[in-house]
């Protein structure tokens, strides 16, 4: 298994190697199908924010177009106005751009095709290929039947063309109640594929549309609209998830009705599923509305805006999507793989800084009070070009409570009376004593003797620290999985919210070195020995810094994939 989270392969490799979609597109380009053109689209419904599953589709749609010199359209699939809004449209554009993709001039709304789709529908009626049906939705289901037996024809199936035209125009004019009539394609009531048993093309629905307002009370169904949009825009490869596989014969039927010179083809791939989270927009909206998270961009959410706020670099998400690959088989991907991809990037790019989250005072008795020195600390050992910075250092430091033990256990190499450790970038300290609160038993202060780096003492541990006189007090938000179980919505009859992790957010006060005063919202750092963190883009201000934990340092994925 390739766990190196490699970036997208070079085009030359792509033709021979890679997933089945890449092979199909490469072969089509080679044989000159579609005149060598590659035009894809990413068609989200603006009824929620994009999540990591969408990232897989975006990387595939935009990725294939880029790799084969084509283009990818961004299209709002807004044919069902009940839950759609401009807020979501704007968020989708922001997130796709952030992920690193550009649609150029090719931004479209399905709603802008409503008039054209209506004309296609009128044409189908004129050709006797569609009719107005008066069955209720319950009757519709009964008439449609089951795959093993032919369905029943609607009593309206042989309604004369003129009557159908008249009714359809009056439906548009608002003469009928919601659901009273619908337009159906006349295909095959005996088809073993239920989607071909005279599917509904239009329904009456009095709902304002965020783009067309109240201009329409008649809205096209996805199965009618989507293939038409693809045909109108000259899409060549229409990539979608597996649940649409059974819709493909209908997709092809609708496309054939407008006889495009170069018809689009639909290909299906498996959805991305990730452990410890839910991915349906309905459920994510519920978490937001019920205030179980702070919003769509809560850093625990699997949304792209949540991951951005959490500090996930877009390049890491792209690398993750490439590693996951594209298959025809549904599977569950380990969240640890995504976190691994994030670490791979941040390890190379994030400057190191020191922060103490559970402070304990360490007094260096051989340094006089009021004396401030500075030490040079390396910004990133992985990248010398990032240089060093000066860190203030003095008599009183904060260290982590966990780095001191009154009575050392076996294999505890950090501070304990008589033991010496290295202070990151600042020489050594030998522990000479400590003070304890007699009432609570808590350690209140540790004392030590300091030695410069040149002393080259032999030690088995390095600890981090910040100068107490110079430290900045900050808020740090520590995150754990949003859900306690791998598949919170595995049981369709149970409430996935029962699996929410009550400890997924822990807020602590910490101290950081003064260099972090300049941290701009979104800036990423490695807090030495603690993990990767970023300044919160919503709440962090220069006078009150707030940091989000992006990911810990412990790489569960690397451990899993490299045993021993």
The residues carrying an active-site annotation are: 45, 271, 281
Shortest Å, Cβ 444 to ligand ATP: 51
CB environment 543-560: b (16+ within 10 A), e (fewer): eebbbbbbbeeebebeee
DSSP 265: E
Q: Does 54 bind ligand ATP (CB under 6 A)?
A: yes
State the number of binding residues for ligand ATP (CB under 6 A).
15
**Looking at 38-46, 115-123, 376-384, 532-540, which segment touches ligand ATP (CB under 6 A)?**
38-46
Residue with tokens 């430091």: 397
Are 212 and 111 in contact, with CB atoms under 8 Å apart? yes
Q: Which residue sits closest to ligand ATP, CB atoms considered? A: 53
Asked if 280 interacts with ligand ATP (CB under 6 A), we say yes
Structure tokens that stand for 115 in this block: 């008039």
| Cβ atoms of 564 and 324 closer than 8 Å | no
Q: Which of 5, 22, 34, 44 binds ligand ATP (CB under 6 A)?
A: 44
Site for ligand ATP in 216-275 (CB under 6 A): 240-241, 271-272
Determine the interface stretch with ligand ATP among 12-20, 48-56, 157-165, 410-418 (rule: CB under 6 A): 48-56
Q: Which helix (H) or strand (E) holds 169?
A: helix 161-172
- Work out how close the CB of 77 gets to ligand ATP at its nearest, in angstroms, rounded to a whole number: 6
* Residue 120 binds ligand ATP, judged by CB under 6 A: no
Between 177 and 332, whose beta carbon lies closer to ligand ATP? 332
Residue ranges with strand state E in 59-133: 71-76, 107-109, 130-133
**Other residues' Cβ atoms within 10 Å of the Cβ of residue 301:** 25
Residue 310 CA to residue 347 CA, distance in Å, equals 16
The answer to the question of residue 56 lying near ligand ATP (CB under 6 A) is yes
In three-state form (DSSP H/G/I as H, E/B as E, the rest C), the secondary structure along 458-526 is: CCCCEECCEECCCCEEEEEEEECCCECCCCCCCCCCCCHHHHECCCCEEEEEEEECHHHHHCCCCCEEE
Q: Contact at 8 Å (CB) between 533 and 527?
A: yes
Taking the complex as a whole, how short is the minimal distance between the CB of residue 321 and ligand ATP, in angstroms?
9
The CB-of-51 to ligand ATP minimum distance in angstroms stands at: 7
Per-residue interface string for the shown chain with ligand ATP, residues 486-505, x marking contact by CB under 6 A: --------------------
Binding segment toward ligand ATP, per CB under 6 A, in 52-60, 198-206, 290-298, 411-419? 52-60
Q: What are the φ/ψ torsions at residue 434 (nearest 5 degrees)?
A: -160, 165
In the bound state with ligand ATP, the residue whose beta carbon lies nearer, of 240 and 426, is: 240
Cβ 103 to ligand ATP shortest distance, Å = 14
Helix/strand/coil for 240: strand
Give the shortest CB-144-to-ligand ATP separation in angstroms. Answer: 23
In the bound state with ligand ATP, the residue whose beta carbon lies nearer, of 18 and 48, is 48
Residue 162 buriedness (CB in 10 A; 0-12 / 13-18 / 19+): exposed
What part of residues 72-101 is at the interface with ligand ATP (CB under 6 A)? 77
Quick one: 43 or 488, whose CB is closer to ligand ATP? 43
The smaller minimum CB distance to ligand ATP, of residues 226 and 309, is found at 226
CA distance 337 to 160: 59
Tokens representing residue 189 in the block: 């009531």
Residues 445-474 that bind ligand ATP (CB under 6 A): none
Task: Assess 331 for contact with ligand ATP (CB under 6 A).
Answer: no
Query: From the list 25, 26, 37, 43, which residue makes contact with ligand ATP (rule: CB under 6 A)?
Result: 43
Q: Does 427 bind ligand ATP (CB under 6 A)?
A: no
**Closest of 304, 238, 247 to residue 88, by C-alpha:** 304
Establish if 302 lies at the interface with ligand ATP (CB under 6 A).
no
Choose between 168 and 312: whose C-beta lies nearer to ligand ATP.
312
CB 334, min distance to ligand ATP, A: 15
**Contact stretch for ligand ATP (CB under 6 A) within 93-101, 277-285, 386-394, 533-541:** 277-285
Please identify which residue in 21, 25, 57, 217 interacts with ligand ATP, judged by CB under 6 A. Answer: 57
Distance between CA atoms of residues 536 and 525, nearest Å: 12
Give Cβ neighbours of residue 88 (< 8 Å, ≥ 6 apart): 46, 47, 48, 49
In 230-285 the beta strands, taken as DSSP E runs, fall at 237-241, 265-269
Positions in the binding site for ligand ATP (CB under 6 A)? 43-45, 53-54, 56-57, 77, 240-241, 271-272, 279-281
């Amino acid at each position: 298994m390739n766990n190196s989270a490699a970036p997208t392969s070079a085009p030359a490799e792509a033709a021979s190697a890679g997933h089945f979609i890449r092979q199909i597109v490469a072969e089509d380009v080679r044989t000159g199908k579609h005149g060598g053109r590659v035009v894809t689209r990413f068609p989200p419904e603006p009824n929620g924010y994009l999540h990591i599953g969408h990232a897989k589709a975006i990387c595939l749609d935009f990725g294939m177009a880029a790799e084969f010199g084509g283009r990818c359209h961004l299209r709002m699939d807004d044919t069902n106005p009940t839950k759609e809004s401009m807020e979501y449209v704007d968020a989708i554009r922001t997130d796709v751009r952030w992920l690193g993709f550009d649609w150029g001039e090719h931004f479209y709304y399905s709603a802008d095709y409503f008039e054209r789709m209506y004309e296609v529908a009128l044409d189908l009626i004129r050709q006797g290929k569609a009719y107005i049906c008066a069955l209720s939705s319950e009757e519709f289901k009964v008439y449609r039947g089951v795959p093993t037996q032919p369905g029943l024809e609607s009593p309206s199936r042989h309604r004369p063309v003129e009557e159908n035209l008249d009714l359809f125009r009056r439906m548009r004019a608002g003469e009928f109640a919601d659901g009273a009539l619908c337009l159906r394609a006349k295909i095959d009531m005996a088809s073993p594929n239920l989607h071909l048993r005279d599917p509904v093309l239009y329904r009456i629905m009095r709902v304002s549309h965020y783009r067309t307002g109240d201009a329409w009370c008649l809205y096209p169904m996805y199965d009618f609209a989507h293939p038409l949009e693809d045909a109108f825009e000259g899409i060549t490869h229409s990539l979608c998830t597996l649940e649409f596989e059974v819709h493909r014969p209908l997709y092809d039927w609708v496309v054939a009705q407008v006889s495009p010179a170069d018809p689009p083809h639909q290909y299906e791939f498996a959805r991305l599923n990730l452990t410890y989270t839910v991915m349906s927009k309905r459920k994510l909206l519920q978490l937001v509305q019920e205030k179980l998270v702070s919003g769509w961009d809560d850093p625990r959410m699997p949304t792209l805006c949540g991951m951005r706020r959490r500090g996930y670099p877009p390049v890491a998400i792209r690398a993750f999507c490439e590693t996951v690959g594209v298959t025809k088989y549904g599977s569950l991907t380990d969240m640890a793989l995504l976190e691994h991809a994030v670490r791979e990037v941040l390890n190379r790019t994030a400057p190191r800084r020191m922060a103490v989250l559970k402070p304990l005072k360490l007094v260096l008795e051989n340094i006089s009070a009021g004396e401030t020195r500075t030490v040079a600390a390396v910004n990133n050992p992985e990248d010398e070009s990032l240089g060093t910075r000066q860190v203030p250092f003095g008599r009183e430091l904060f260290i982590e409570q966990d780095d001191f033990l009154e009575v050392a256990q076996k294999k505890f190499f950090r501070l304990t009376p008589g033991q010496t450790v290295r202070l990151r970038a600042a020489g050594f300290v030998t522990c000479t004593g400590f003070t304890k609160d007699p009432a609570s038993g808590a350690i209140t202060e540790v004392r030590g003797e300091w030695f410069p780096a040149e002393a080259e003492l032999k030690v088995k541990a390095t600890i981090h620290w910040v100068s107490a006189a110079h430290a900045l007090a900050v808020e740090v938000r520590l995150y754990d999985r949003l859900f306690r179980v791998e598949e919170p919505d595995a049981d369709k009859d149970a409430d996935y919210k029962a699996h929410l992790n009550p400890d997924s957010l822990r807020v602590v006060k910490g101290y950081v070195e003064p260099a972090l005063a300049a941290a701009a919202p979104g800036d990423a750092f490695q807090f030495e020995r603690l993990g990767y963190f970023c300044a919160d883009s919503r709440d962090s201000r220069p006078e009150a810094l707030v940091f989000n934990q992006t990911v810990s340092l412990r790489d569960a994925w690397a451990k899993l994939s490299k045993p021993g």
